[in-house]
A and B are shown apart, each in its own frame.
Chain A
Amino acid sequence: METYDVIVIGAGFGGPVAAKKCADAGLKTLMVERSGIPGEKVISGLVIPIYGFLFGPAFIRNGNPPIERPICSVVNRIVKGGKIAFTDHSLKVPAPVVLGYSAYCKPFCTWLADRAVESGAILRTSTTVTDLIVEGGSVRGVITETGEALRSRIVIDSGGTQNMLSIKAGIRKKFVPEAIELYMIWDFEMPKADVDRVFGTSMEFFHAMPEEKIGAPLGYGSTLYFFTYRDSIHPGLGQFLITEGKVPNVQKLLRDYFSNFTATVTRWKQDIAPHAKLRGVMWDVCPIYAGLLPETREMPIYSDGFLIVGDAAGFEAAAFGDGVPNAWFSADIAADTAIEALAAGDTSRSFLARYEEKIKADPFIIHTISDGRRWNMREILKSRDENEFRRKVRDHWGIGAFRYGNMGGPCLRAARRAVAEDGKSISSWLNMFRRYYANWEQNRFDRLSTD
C-alpha cells in the first residue's frame, strides 16, 4: 500500500498550487485527477482577475503560463429593444497593466500541474477518487474507483463544485440549488485581427431588463458576457437553478436567451457574427451564492486530516463568479497548514483549525464570497428604475468595482501586506505585467508536457 504525506484530490486550478507548495517543502505528494489531461474537464469562463496573479502564488506571477488575451477594460452595454441604449466604459487601465487575463482551462491547468510535477509531486490522471479513508474520525487517505487504497497523513480536497467526497464522508452537505448557477458557454473562432478591431483588449457585457429576454432576471443569473481570447471569443450566460422561488425550465431559457440575443442585438449581427464561427458548446454549474446563504456558508472547510479548498469549500466569488483567485489563495493556505501540521506531527482538527483562521484573515476570500452586488440587482426588478439600473451597472461592472467597499479595500490591504512581507513585490508585479504582455504579443509561452 502506497503511503504519501499529502494527497491532493483534483488537478484543476487549486490542486496543483497546493501540490507544488507541499512538494517544494519536501513532502511526498500525490495529485489524483479523474480526467486524462488536467483541465480537460474544467469548464469555465475564463478571465482570471488580476488580484489572483498579484497576490496569489509567486510561481504563477514569475512564470509564463498560456494566457489568451490581456483584458484591460470592461465594456457594459445596456440593451433596450435590441439596441444599445447605454454604454458604460468607465473601467479601463492602460496596457500592459490589466484587469485580468483570459485563458482556456486545459492548457492553463496543465501548465499548473506541470509546475507541481517539476517540484516533485506525482500526478495520477484518469483516476477517480470515490471515497475517503476515514479511521477513528480522521481522514487517512483516499480510495480510487478500482478499490485501491492510497494512504496519506493529510488529504487536500480541491475536487471542485460537486464535492461528493466530503458529502459522502458526512463532513459537508450538497450545495442548495439556490446557490447554484447553471452556465451555458459558446466558443467561436474569430480571426485575431477581427477580435483586435471589434473588441481590442476589452471584455463585454450585455445587461437588460427581463422583457428583452436575453438573460435571466437581474440578480438570478449572470448577464450575457463576451470574453475575448487570442483568436476566438467565448460568450456565456447563466441562470440560477432556483429563480424567484421555483425551478424554471433553465435548459430552454438559456438557449432562448442566446438565440434572442443573436436574432435581435445589432452589435452581434453587424460587428461580431460576420467574423465568428461556432466551435464549441458546453455548460457547467457554479456555486456562486454559496457564501451568501447561511446554510452553505457555515459548512466546515476542514476536518481531522482533511482540508477543503476552492469551489469544493464554497469559495466562489459572489459578484462575478471569479473563483480561480480564491482557489489559488485557499490552496496556498491549505499547503502552508499541511506543512505546519506535518512538521508538528499533529493533523488533528484542533491543529487544522488554523486553516480556517487564515482563510478568515485573507483579504479576499470572505470579502468576495459575501459580495452582494450581483444578488442586489434583484432590487431593480421591483423598482424598474433605469437610472438606478445604470448606476448599479457602473458600481458593479464599471469603475465602481474599484471602490474601497468593493474590490478597492481588499486590494489595498493585500498590497500593503505583500509589500511589508517582501520589499520586491512592486517590481515583481511590474515585471509580470511587462513579461505577460510581451509573451502575449509574441504568442510565446512555456511548453506544456502535452505539446
Chain B
Amino acid sequence: MVRTSSEFPGIEWVEGTGDFIRIDGEKCTGCADCVRVCLAGCFAVEEKKAKITSLERCMECGACWYVCTGDAVSFSWPRGGTGFRTRWG
C-alpha cells in the first residue's frame, strides 16, 4: 500500500516500514529538540517525555537523531523498498 499527503505533494510512502525510529524514555530529558527539527511533525513532548506520534510522513532525514545528543532517539532505516520515495528529489 502507498500513502500520500496533501501537505507534502510529490512524495509517496510505501507501508511496512516497521518501527525504525524509537525513543528511550529513560534517556529522554524532554528538551523537545526533536520536535523543533522534525518537518513531518512526528514527535510530541508530553509530561516531559518525547513520544512518536506517527512516522507516517517521515522523510528518513535523521534530524531528530542528530539533535538528540543524549542518544534517546535511535534511528535505523525502514525495511528495504518501504518508506518514502519521490520522483522529484
Contacting residues, chain B, for A284 (C-beta < 8 A) = 59, 61, 89
Interface string of B6-25 (1 = CB under 8 A from A): 01111100100000000000
Q: Evaluate contact between A285 and B36: CB separation under 8 angstroms.
A: no
Q: How many residues of B contact A (CB 8 A)?
A: 36
Stretch at the interface among A70-78, A172-180, A372-380: A172-180
Q: Is A127's beta carbon under 8 Å from chain B?
A: yes
Query: In the bound complex, how far is the Cα of B65 from the Cα of A261, in angstroms?
Result: 29
Q: Evaluate contact between A278 and B9: CB separation under 8 angstroms.
A: yes
Q: Shortest beta-carbon distance, A65 to chain B, in Å?
A: 16
Query: In the bound complex, how far is the Cα of B40 from the Cα of A150, in angstroms?
Result: 35
Name which residue of chain A comes closest to B37, CB basis: A250
Query: In the bound complex, how far is the Cα of B12 from the Cα of A280, in angstroms?
Result: 11
Q: Is A340's beta carbon under 8 Å from chain B?
A: no
Interface string of B55-84 (1 = CB under 8 A from A): 000011111011101000001111111011
Interface string of B25-55 (1 = CB under 8 A from A): 0000000010111110100000000000000
Stretch at the interface among A38-46, A203-211, A265-273: A38-46
Query: In the bound complex, how far is the Cα of B20 from the Cα of A330, in angstroms?
Result: 30
Q: Is A283's beta carbon under 8 Å from chain B?
A: yes
CB interface residues, A 20-44, toward B, < 8 Å: 34-37, 39-44
Contact of A34 with B80 at beta-carbon distance under 8 Å, contacts A161-B62, A284-B59 already known: yes
Name which residue of chain A comes closest to B18, CB basis: A145
Query: In the bound complex, how far is the Cα of B64 from the Cα of A251, in angstroms?
Result: 11
Query: In the bound complex, how far is the Cα of B14 from the Cα of A127, in angstroms?
Result: 14
Query: In the bound complex, how far is the Cα of B63 from the Cα of A254, in angstroms?
Result: 14
Q: Evaluate contact between A187 and B10: CB separation under 8 angstroms.
A: yes
Q: Is A184's beta carbon under 8 Å from chain B?
A: yes
CB interface residues, A 277-325, toward B, < 8 Å: 278-285
Contact of A251 with B81 at beta-carbon distance under 8 Å, contacts A174-B65, A174-B66, A180-B63 already known: no
Pick from A40, A145, A250, A283: contact of B79, CB below 8 A.
Answer: A145
Pick from B41, B61, B65: contact of A182, CB below 8 A.
Answer: B61
Q: Shortest beta-carbon distance, B72 to chain A, in Å?
A: 13
Q: Shortest beta-carbon distance, A170 to chain B, in Å?
A: 15
Q: Evaluate contact between B37 and A43: CB separation under 8 angstroms.
A: no
Q: Evaluate contact between B66 and A285: CB separation under 8 angstroms.
A: yes
Pick from B33, B75, B80, B87: contact of A144, CB below 8 A.
Answer: B80
> Which residues of B does A touch, CB under 8 Å?
7-11, 14, 33, 35-39, 41, 59-63, 65-67, 69, 75-81, 83-89
The 7 nearest A-B residue pairs measured at CB: A280-B10, A126-B81, A280-B88, A43-B89, A187-B88, A126-B80, A40-B85
Task: Show 13 residue pairs from A and B whose CB-CB distance is below 8 angstroms, ordered by the A residue.
Answer: A35-B81, A35-B85, A37-B85, A41-B60, A41-B83, A41-B89, A43-B86, A105-B89, A106-B89, A177-B66, A177-B69, A279-B88, A281-B11
Given A127-B81, A128-B77, 6 more pairs with CB closer than 8 A: A174-B66, A177-B69, A280-B86, A281-B10, A282-B88, A285-B63
